[in-house]
Chain A
């Protein structure tokens, strides 16, 4: 067999490497909806069934005979201000020198944060690798001076590459004319995928809905979100799109609760120390850090368990992206765990002095543990519901309620100093939660927020929200604790109230987590 030497002309390679800010022009005027780009991409990247880096969305508008069908290609927007890069804890998603948002499978831990950060439904978990993948502009081809495979295959040249830093680039000139649109500009991600001739409704997923009789020639996966549930300004019908399933589910809802319990119990313990009960060795010095430690361990287990690549969890520490609240959250949880450990040692040693010294740091770290998720969810730019400024106070109030509730349950089996403190903390927490949740449910924000709130309070998560979150988690325990405080009952009633508050809190979290992801992004 003859040996061949690689012959890649240097000028070819350098062409691909001189580009600095790549974007796409997707020309819906020319697009014929043939799906060639989808298949070329599947082939180029061996994309498994069920997920897509790029796809063609069809929508239909109007009534016979004034009816129309519009095609628009959907994919990663290679945002200049890319939320996926910000949230990615391990730098698996990164900005390439040519402006492309690229990724490195070998760094990905499969946290799926990027999937919630992306306002465009552009990222998926590759079932073959369990890592997050997306359009990377075929950067391995760009490097060799070749266009992306979707560009090459397109029969009508409806997909064009632009180097947006090059004013002489013909495609850049078209974009510069301003007769183009981008998806979700309000997210301020500075997308670099521009659409020409696209029907406005095709780019706004809240203006089209998937009807009950489905799509033109493909099944719709049952979990695919559609705007129809809310009917918010729907003007067109989606007749072809691909599946985008929810990524953060019960494990994340549970993590919010276990973390609240850990934080809350230490907060109440700190409060008791500050109230002078540092000498109560069991109920203040030893049991709270054990309970917190246990729930922190469960929290960690849930977090790691929710990773698609759990064996890589330590990359959070060894390959950290310091801007990601997943990383900062890990640090917070670690610090809180360390304080809990110190507290435990102090408690075992019976050193109320040490506990007094730890009380304020423990209180602060408990607050950070409970509250950091607000910042993490805030980095999920694709989930407007989670961007609410009420989330931080809600998480803190939940921690208070959970801490009081945990003490109320503990009161059944051990001697708790001043049980009324825990009861008042629980009542206060629940009361604050009630006010915050009411404010949230009544809030008017973006169409996206309203759609999510509707899903939570009137849509498919309403039962979870009302029966679980509000009645079981707030109303019943509040009433029970109020009765207990007023009547000075024994520990049984507050304990039941505490258990109900924690279980109800899970239902609330679950409705909030899922409703946030129920709004279609593509």
Chain B
């Protein structure tokens, strides 16, 4: 270790000297101000520091923020590539309004005032006329914790829609059904066994912070196990790579659980104290005595079929390897860190059982909330308090929360075009925000049909820094800032610790540091390129247009607390927020700053406190005197869902908790303890909720055969399983295409195919392949690799971007394409490849690659899991050589077949109402939980 620094010391950040790299060895000095912000590429929101050049006022470089507790100054490729996104010569700089027909590519420049007036007027009319459900905000990457929800709540609109059911609904319900928290927070750094059904060394929530800690632990001797049918980079680094058949992962996990139980390598006392084993025994084994001694034999009986030999047959993983993995896990009690977020969870019907069965191993090894274990995200994520807002909305928007999916973990966003088509509702104003459903969602042509129809979507407002396949079909395209041009606060459960990160408009902060007047009336767009706004100020401004005179009771939530009668400024907003963060005010005072100044200078703050095993915390009995102790030892507080009798008339009086049913404690061995935010306050080996809401057969960890289960396929013929979802380390969905450095690194996504499959299917080396799905087909190039299970083919979901018009940006990876249709049959045909051309960026003359990939998702029908609502991404496909007339990149889809598939999957549901005549369990988390009366169906 030399004594070199990684970063300029913090005390020099307002004037750091560096030498010009290009002039070197001549010593040309530059002076920079280093302004911290956070990355807005993936969800991890790693710390960044922008180097603003004093002479030019421009951002020269984007490096890591050493003060950020999660990323610790380090970044993946996407962090420094933020500079490309700032400098993107094709970004949208002014508000645009559609001039011709939707999707016709004709736009006119419009002032922000005109746009705000029109949109505000439409929202106002919808609210005033009781058409609240016609206002929808559809978010891809939120990048913040709760700002938009507060806005919608203040409008009284249940219009929050997200991308979650193409992402993580399955994992969430798997985790939540155990511990109430819907996300895992693994303490990788201190683990001795790391079990990943994910590719955290290259992607996922949260790639860079997790990869740092996984590799750190592995260097200290931890065993890394990775389950993935294809050799991800993570699989390559793992000590055990287990390429199980897609959808059989829960089977594999249950086989491991059975081995732990059989060998006695499980933490009996932890299971006794912290699971609802009594309920399990009563419901599943009524013939056995309700005594803990019954639990082991009962579980072994339940999982008797899950032998290593049977697991080898079903999963395709050698039994000896399974046994060795189980032995390794069993040898490291309490130090088992595991993670599943998408991968198998997102791919399969019943994929939610992947997380449920994986966390079963945490429970059996007592690795819940321990040092080196896995805890609930709610304990390692700190959600900073927003300024006061309106009470919960009275609405229930069935376009997002249809009765067929009472347990859907998030909005049924993939079904929106089908719901609109069925006439379940219409949208007057649809905001798409950092979201590209036409490209990202399955069944994109159904989206295109819906978005083109003004009867279904009255006004589509795309809030985006760049063009996308969806923005093309908008009525307004409103340019919003990238990571260095906006305010957001977020916190993520990256490790054992809690923190908040602050994204800020770098040049605005630079001006402030340089002594320019940045006051109450100052707006971020004054410092951003062109007329690029930040969304925070947009929502405040729009809320004022919706309710200019305050008559709707909306405006008051967006007024400055400091300067009454004027719009709230971002300084007002975040000052309030930061003053409410425990410890922050004191830390700021110690630095002689306000909390806001402190955050502007550092970009992140780590909260104090040990969050290990928080469920063990004792609860002061004096605070429980108003509660009733139920037979299971749970303290039930009157007026909360936990104490609700089920009588409809009492519903209105309930106070809903964000998470859990409001019960404050559970008695364990005679001591009231905090427990878990589940109805039993314990880890739910048996989920009464799943049983009560129609799915008793899945109330315990179970394997649900996937819709792509290999035994159902004609593998001797041309059927194969397509994995279309995997990520690569350099890209992030459709957002990173405007980075030339990332595009140069990765711009093709050939179909991974095992050589034996290629031979069997007659696919030539480097040959074109036609992949036929339920609703259409696409044509892609083959890439033979040993790194994939025979029987499975895969192509990353990155790449395959297209543009109908070269004016719509996308120089680096946008393939020019034509779309034609004949009735319900749609065709996308690629016209070209990225061409060298001259532009403001000389690098456009140097584009050397030819490929931009193939858009697969258009050919996937919606496949919502009947319980979680998760789109089950894996595809049962026919694979063969391209046919005469096929060209690389061709996509053909029949949306009438997409509708048939939608109806089939819809028929698998078991609709609401559930107990109490409700739409959804009151204790389930939900974005923007409405008033309890809205739950009544």
Contact = CB atoms under 8 A, between A and B. Distances in A.
Interface of A: 1-2, 4-9, 12, 15-16, 19, 22, 29-30, 32-36, 38-40, 42-46, 48-50, 60, 62-65, 67-71, 96, 102, 104-106, 127-128, 136, 138-147, 149, 151-157, 160-163, 166, 169-171, 211-219, 221, 239, 243
A243 B8 contact: no
B81 A39 contact: yes
Nearest to A37: B77
Interface stretch (B235-243, B637-645, B888-896, B904-912): B235-243
B662 interface: no
B93 interface: no
Contact of A46 (B1, B22, B745, B847): B22
A32 B730 CA distance: 12
25 contacts: A1-B515, A6-B15, A9-B12, A15-B2, A30-B219, A32-B237, A38-B741, A43-B80, A43-B741, A45-B21, A69-B233, A102-B24, A104-B25, A145-B5, A146-B4, A147-B4, A153-B64, A153-B75, A155-B75, A155-B208, A155-B211, A157-B74, A214-B750, A217-B748, A217-B796
B781 A213 contact: yes
B482 interface: no
Given A36-B75, A214-B783, A152 B61 contact: no
A169 B843 contact: no
B741 A136 contact: no
Contact of B2 (A102, A149, A163, A221): A163
B15 A7 contact: yes
Interface of B is mostly: loop
Interface in B489-541: 514-516
B745 A38 contact: yes
Interface stretch (B343-351, B459-467, B784-792): B784-792
B602 interface: no
A34 B729 contact: yes
Contacts of B319: none
A156 B211 contact: yes
Interface in B755-808: 765-766, 781-790, 796, 798-799
Contacts of A45: 21-22
A161 B4 contact: yes
Contacts of A49: 740, 744, 843, 846-848
B766 A50 contact: no
B749 A105 contact: no
B781 A32 contact: no
Contacts of B670: none
Contacts of A19: 2
B748 A65 contact: no
B235 to A, nearest CB: 8
B787 A153 contact: no
Contacts of B64: 152-153
Contacts of A243: 848
Contacts of A145: 3-5
A67 B786 contact: yes
Counting chain B residues whose Cβ lies within 8 A of the other chain, the interface size class is 35 or more
B8 A146 contact: yes
A125 B671 CA distance: 72
A147 B243 contact: no
B215 interface: yes
B58 interface: no
B848 A153 contact: no
Given A16-B4, A39-B741, A153-B80, 20 more contacts: A5-B15, A7-B11, A32-B215, A39-B77, A43-B61, A43-B83, A48-B846, A49-B740, A60-B787, A62-B786, A64-B786, A71-B233, A136-B24, A161-B4, A169-B2, A171-B1, A213-B750, A213-B766, A217-B730, A218-B747
B14 interface: yes
Contact of A35 (B6, B31, B211, B729): B729
B852 to A, nearest CB: 10
B750 to A, nearest CB: 7
Nearest to B782: A213
A161 B31 CA distance: 26
Contacts of A136: 24
Nearest to B742: A39
B726 to A, nearest CB: 11
B61 to A, nearest CB: 6
Interface string B811-841: 0000000000000000000000000000000
A71 B231 CA distance: 13
Contact of A155 (B74, B742, B748, B750): B74
A218 B7 contact: no
Contacts of B787: 60, 64, 67, 69
Contacts of B788: 64
A127 B836 CA distance: 14
Contact of A34 (B202, B765, B786, B849): B202
Interface string B841-885: 011001111110000000000000000000000000000000000
A50 B812 CA distance: 13
A64 B754 contact: yes
Nearest to B321: A65
A4 B14 CA distance: 9
Contact of B746 (A2, A7, A156, A218): A218
A48 B842 contact: yes
Nearest to A65: B243
B31 A4 contact: yes
Nearest to A55: B745
Given A6-B31, A49-B847, A65 B4 contact: no
A464 B276 CA distance: 80
A128 B17 contact: no
B15 A219 contact: no
Given A32-B729, A147-B4, A162-B2, A218 B18 contact: no
B76 A6 contact: no
B9 interface: yes
B74 A154 contact: yes
Given A5-B15, A6-B15, A38 B846 contact: no
A368 B730 CA distance: 53
A155 B15 contact: no
Contacts of A29: 219
Contacts of A39: 77-78, 80-81, 741-742, 745
A215 B748 CA distance: 9
B151 interface: no
Contacts of A50: 744, 846, 848
Nearest to A128: B842
Given A2-B515, A64-B243, A219-B849, A161 B25 contact: no
A221 B748 CA distance: 13
Contacts of B4: 15-16, 142, 145-147, 161
Contacts of A221: 848
B604 interface: no
A284 to B, nearest CB: 53
Given A62-B786, A217-B728, A144 B18 contact: yes
B22 A40 contact: no
Q: Which 9 A-B pairs have the closest CB atoms?
A: A69-B236, A4-B15, A213-B766, A140-B19, A140-B24, A217-B746, A49-B846, A156-B215, A34-B729
Contacts of A33: 202, 233, 236, 729
Interface in B236-277: 236-237, 241, 243
B215 A30 contact: yes
Contacts of A239: 785
Interface in B294-312: none
A25 to B, nearest CB: 11
Contacts of A34: 76-77, 201-202, 211, 233, 729-730
B79 interface: yes
Nearest to B754: A64
A211 B787 CA distance: 14
A157 B784 CA distance: 32
A4 B849 CA distance: 45
Contacts of A161: 2, 4
A448 to B, nearest CB: 27
